[in-house]
Amino acid sequence: MQEKIITAQNVEFHYDNEYEENAPVKQVLKGVSLDIEKGSFTAILGHNGSGKSTIAKHFNAILLPCGGKVYVEGIDTADEEKLFDIRQHVGMVFQNPDNQIVATIVEEDVAFALENLGVNPDEMRERVDDALKSVGMYEYREHSPHQLSGGQKQRVAIAGIIAMRPDCIVLDEPTAMLDPKGRREVLKTIRRLNRDYGITIVLITHYMDEAAQADRIVVMDGGTIIMDDVPKEVFSNVETMKKIGLDVPQVTELMYLMGEAGLPSDTHIIDENECVEALLKLLK
């Protein structure tokens, strides 16, 4: 049984309406329960407004639940005293690459968390260099941020979190503002961190081709989890996915359409290779 690094129990959440006292509140999370296992790569998939970003923000105590509880490594996120402990266990990377970089030089930004924690300069040097190498940005350590591409900036942001040596990184739509090359770079980096360094990854996204690379996909809609399974199973539910406004891989959709036309098909096919194999069998 794998150790659980994050546990959400029946989390309910709504934003307080600042303008009107007795206005009806919009319930953003309606009882979300979820466990993230150490070393896993989980994707949380959903359209905008499904609650996926909101639950992610509970994982490092940016938001506290209105109902239910969230535990990080056994620590209750509502425990104010343990805030920094929590944030050192679970790091967070956001959507806008620019608005996470605070220093004028890359390596100084990566060191930011360590400077805040009062780490001594020698150890800092080592950890910063290691972090930059693990995301492939070591050669850019003395560059200024505005010289970098979006994908490079996001990798610097990730390095800034890695320097804290967290057990888990939560990435909230990290590729939404990037071009395809940047998206590939960031996904590659994330996969490598999970595979080679054993870092637990929680990826919030609405891109199904990204979610397809995870071990497990949690699909959210209207503040609740409606599916929680491996990619193959999740994407094979083509109709449900489409109904809630999400994409499935083109090959899966093709299988679904073929099934509708009475042709032999398997909607568990989610990647190109399997599709080519299946079609070759059918057409030869």
Partner 1 sequence: MSVIKTENLTYTYSIGTPFEKTAVDNVNLEIEEGALVGIIGHTGSGKSTLIQHFNGLVKPTSGKIYVEGQDIWAKETKLRDIRFKVGLVFQYPEYQIFEETVYKDIAFGPKNMGLPDEEIDRRIKETAELVGLHKENLYKSPFELSGGQKRRVAIAGVMAMEPKVLILDEPTAGLDPKGRDKILGQIKEYHQQKKTTVLLVSHSMEDVAKFADKILVMNKAKLFCYDDTPTVFKRADELANMGLAVPQITRVFNRLKQSGIDIRTDVYTTEFARKTILEYLEKRGGERA
Partner 2 sequence: MLKDITIGQYFPGNSVIHRLDPRFKIIITGVFIAMLFTADNFMGLGIGMIFLLVSFLLSQIPFKLMLKSLKPIIPIIIFTSILNLFFLDGVVLFKLGFIKVTYEGLRTSAFMIIRIVALIMGSSLLTYTTSPITLTDAIERLLSPLKKLKFPVHELAMMMTIALRFIPTLIEETDKIMSAQKARGADMESGSLLQRAKALTPILIPLFVSAFRRAEELALAMECRCYQGGDGRTRLRQLHSTGADFFALGISIVFFDIVILLNCLLG
When binding is defined by CB under 8 A, the residue of 17, 48, 104, 144 that contacts partner 1 is 48
Q: Checking DSSP bridges between strand 216-221 and strand 200-205, what pairing results, if any?
A: unpaired
Q: Are 72 and 89 in contact (CB under 8 A)?
A: yes
- Told to check if 246 binds partner 1 by CB under 8 A, we report yes
Show the tokens assigned to 188: 């590659």
DSSP per position, 7-76: EEEEEEEE---SS-TTPPPPEEEEEEEEEEETT-EEEEE--TTSSHHHHHHHTTTSS--SEEEEEETTEE
When binding is defined by CB under 8 A, the residue of 72, 158, 186, 275 that contacts partner 1 is 275
When binding is defined by CB under 8 A, the residue of 254, 266, 267, 281 that contacts partner 1 is 254
The CB-of-13 to partner 2 minimum distance in angstroms stands at 17
Provide the angle, in degrees to the nearest 10, between the axes of the packed helices 272-283 and 250-260.
30
Taking CB under 8 A as the binding criterion, the range among 63-71, 103-111, 121-129, 272-280 that sits at the site for partner 1 is 272-280
Residues 21-80 that bind partner 2 (CB under 8 A): 60, 62
45 vs 92, beta carbon nearer partner 1: 45
Tokens 């350590």 sit on residue: 141
279 binds, among partner 2, partner 1, none (CB under 5 to 8 A by kind): partner 1
When binding is defined by CB under 8 A, the residue of 88, 149, 224, 240 that contacts partner 2 is 88
CB-side neighbour CA atoms (13 Å) of 114:
24
138 binds, among partner 2, partner 1, none (CB under 5 to 8 A by kind): none
- Told to check if 253 binds partner 1 by CB under 8 A, we report yes
104 binds, among partner 1, partner 2, none (CB under 5 to 8 A by kind): partner 2
The CB-of-211 to partner 1 minimum distance in angstroms stands at 12
When binding is defined by CB under 8 A, the residue of 39, 91, 182, 249 that contacts partner 2 is 91
59 vs 256, beta carbon nearer partner 2: 59
When binding is defined by CB under 8 A, the residue of 1, 118, 280, 281 that contacts partner 1 is 280
Binding residues for partner 1 (CB under 8 A)? 47-48, 149, 176-177, 179-181, 206, 208, 245-247, 249-251, 253-254, 257-258, 261, 263, 272, 275-276, 279-280, 282-284
Binding residues for partner 2 (CB under 8 A)? 60, 62, 84, 87-88, 91-92, 94, 96, 98-105, 107-108, 111-121, 124-125, 128, 144-146, 157, 160-161, 164
